[in-house]
Amino acid sequence: MINLIMQTTPAGGAIAQFVPLILIFVIFYVFLIMPQQRRMKAHKAMLAAVMRGDTVVTNGGIVGKVKKVSETELTLDLGATEVKVVRSMIADVRNKTVAANDGKAK
């Protein structure tokens, strides 16, 4: 039985069986993995560029103006109250402002 199977399988048959699997992996990489990596990179750059005075939207839908920026947290001014938000929970920066002058004269 094994001799019959070995005789009917061409020499390059093993490699030809993996070509569709490799093609599927390439398609998944190009259409799913690469765009997700680009989005993550852009979001990380956006979070690094948040500064005082920007209007931001959190993942929970809260819209506020950044009052204070620290390494891991932002303090948002919501009008009547102030809220501390973890930096990674920022979904979008709506109004990007110019760097604020903190009163430091040159």
What is the domain count for the chain?
2
**Same domain, yes or no: 16 and 41:** yes
Q: Does the reported pTM lie above 0.85? A: no
Q: What are the pLDDT tens digits along the chain (106 aa)?
A: 555 555 555 556 778 888 899 999 999 999 999 999 999 999 999 999 999 999 999 999 999 999 999 999 999 999 999 999 999 999 999 987 665 555 554 4
Give me 97's structure tokens. 């402002």
pLDDT at position 13 is: 72
CATH number of the domain at 67, please: 2.30.30.100
Is residue 29 included in any domain, yes or no? yes
pLDDT at position 106 is: 46
**Same domain, yes or no: 40 and 55:** no
**Same domain, yes or no: 61 and 89:** yes
Is residue 27 included in any domain, yes or no? yes
**Same domain, yes or no: 57 and 85:** yes
As a whole number of angstroms, the distance between CA 33 and CA 90 comes to 22
Residue 22: domain span: 12-45
**Same domain, yes or no: 37 and 59:** no
Using a 10 angstrom Cβ sphere, with 0-12 exposed, 13-18 middle and 19 or more buried, the burial of residue 64 is buried
